[in-house]
């Protein structure tokens, strides 16, 4: 049944939850449902199903690219902590270098160079 704007009146008004999107992605991945069947079952536009499939694939590829064999999976907080510690170490070295340069420059100006 079509509404006044030509769109199906049975389309979902509320957004899908993350759990629903994941369930759809799993069903597509295992070929339990086709994209058309998933759109009909969840009452969403087929482009929504295509977007879920694309985003799920991209997210999986990104997670796999970041994982290292033999290592425990690091949480996002762990990754941020490692990056923050690396930044702190880099800044500490920069401060040391600048302190050495400052001492050298002060020594030159006092000696009359």
Residue spans per domain, the chain: 1-66, 73-113
**Tokens, residue 81:** 């902590």
Q: What pLDDT does residue 20 have? A: 92
Three-state SS letters, 21-32 = HHHHHHHHHCCC
Q: What pLDDT shows up at residue 67?
A: 77
pLDDT band at 49 (very low <50, low <70, confident <90, very high): very high
Residue 2: band (very low, low, confident or very high) from pLDDT cuts 50, 70, 90: very low
HSE, side-chain direction, 13 A CA sphere, residue 94 = 6
Tell me if 64 sits within 8 A of 32, measured CB to CB.
no
Whether the predicted pLDDT of 37 surpasses 90: yes
Over residues 28-40, mean pLDDT:
93
pLDDT surpasses 50 at 73: yes
Please tell me the chain's helix, strand, coil percentages from 3-state DSSP, rounded to the nearest 5.
65, 0, 30
């Amino acid at each position: 049944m079509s509404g006044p704007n030509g769109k199906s009146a049975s389309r979902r008004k509320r957004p899908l939850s993350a759990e629903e999107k994941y369930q759809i992605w799993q069903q597509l991945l295992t070929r339990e449902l086709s994209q058309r069947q998933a759109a009909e079952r969840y009452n969403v536009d087929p482009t929504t199903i295509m977007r879920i499939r694309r985003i799920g694939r991209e997210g999986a590829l990104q997670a796999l690219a970041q994982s290292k064999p033999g290592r425990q999976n690091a949480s996002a907080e762990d990754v941020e902590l490692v990056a923050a510690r690396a930044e702190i170490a880099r800044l500490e070295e920069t401060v040391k270098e600048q302190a050495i340069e400052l001492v050298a420059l002060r020594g030159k100006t006092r000696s009359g160079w």
